[in-house]
Amino acid sequence: MSLMIASPALAVPYELRYQGTYDDLLHPLCVREIAVKPTVSIDAKGRKKIKSYAATFRGTDVGPPGIGDKITIACDEDSIKKYGLREFEFTGIVEGTSIDAGDGIHEGDYNSVKDGDSFEGIRWRDGNRWLKKSDNISPPRPPPPSKVPPNE
């Protein structure tokens, strides 16, 4: 019987830990997803190298955008009826254990139980936490249909 040991070269990059779905403690029941995609560049010898990791944030919130930087409204039925539900999507960068959307709000670090932290997920600079639910994300939505009339 032989044992196979994973090579460090085959280890999953830390940045990919961010990909998945989350529970947002300030926005219960709201959708929180992060998709992570490596940005590849070609070096002088023609080899592909990962340049950086792009993060796409997707989710839902209650109320109009810009109503404050620390609103704690759940995406429950009563709140949705009262304030309305909206979807959002924006991008950011992941470097090692840090993530930053460049908006001054979504800046944080990944916490991992495997690394001795008390929870699995993101601790944001504003004190909020997103608790990791799954590594899976929903497929991207198709683009809206074109409004340009076909050539006749």
Question: Which position has the higher pLDDT, 8 or 62?
Answer: 62
71 CB-near residues (< 8 Å, 6+ apart):
26, 63
Instruction: For residue 81, report the phi and psi dihedrals to the nearest 5 degrees.
Output: -65, -40
pTM assigned to the model: 0.77
User: Which token pair is 23?
Assistant: 């529970």
Q: Which tens digits make up the pLDDT trace of 78-128?
A: 999 998 999 999 999 999 899 999 988 899 999 999 889 999 999 999 889
Report whether pLDDT(10) > 50.
no
User: Which token pair is 69?
Assistant: 């930087």
Distance CA 120, CA 113 (A): 6
Q: Which tens digits make up the pLDDT trace of 130-148?
A: 999 999 887 766 666 655 5
